[in-house]
Amino acid sequence: MGSHHCFVCGDKNPKGLHVHFEQEEGGAVHATYQCDPTHQGWPGIQHGGITSALLDEACAYVTYFQGLTCMTGQLTVQFHAPIHVGETLEIRARPVRVTRRLMDIEAEIVSRSGERKASAQAKMVVLTARQQAQAGLSNP
């Protein structure tokens, strides 16, 4: 786990989403999540900010499982279909391009029936030791 108090994955954040990511072969990650009534925007529909946070976190976990300390530099999200309260979702992410300081990641959220709900492309910046210290992440 990246941080016990992380909004998406932290086990000690009482207001968090408590999502548990698992690693796959090839560096991909996946998790499941059930849309909670407290996370609505329009009535009965998950707020896009929550959807974006889930996608961002999936991208971050791709880097985390590789032992890298990264921050999201850019996240581009497409919302394909509404996510309804109570729906169970599969969240997936995988690396598509890796350089010394950048990882390009693709992520998606699909319903149990296979409907594509949202997708994202992220640029995760690998922090230097100095950047980690400046961000207070020397001992993440």
Residues in contact with ligand CO8, total (CB under 6 A)?
Answer: 18
Please identify which residue in 4, 20, 101, 112 interacts with ligand CO8, judged by CB under 6 A.
101
- 20 burial (CB, 10 Å; 0-12 / 13-18 / 19+) is exposed
Q: Is 77 in the site for ligand CO8 (CB under 6 A)?
A: no
Q: Could you tell me the two tokens for 99?
A: 């350089």
Site for ligand CO8 in 81-100 (CB under 6 A): 99
Question: Shortest Cβ distance from residue 114 to ligand CO8 (Å)?
Answer: 27
By CB under 6 A, the residues from 32 to 71 that bind ligand CO8 are: 56-57, 60-61, 64, 71
Q: Residue 23, interface with ligand CO8 (CB under 6 A)?
A: no
| β partners of residue 103 | 98, 124
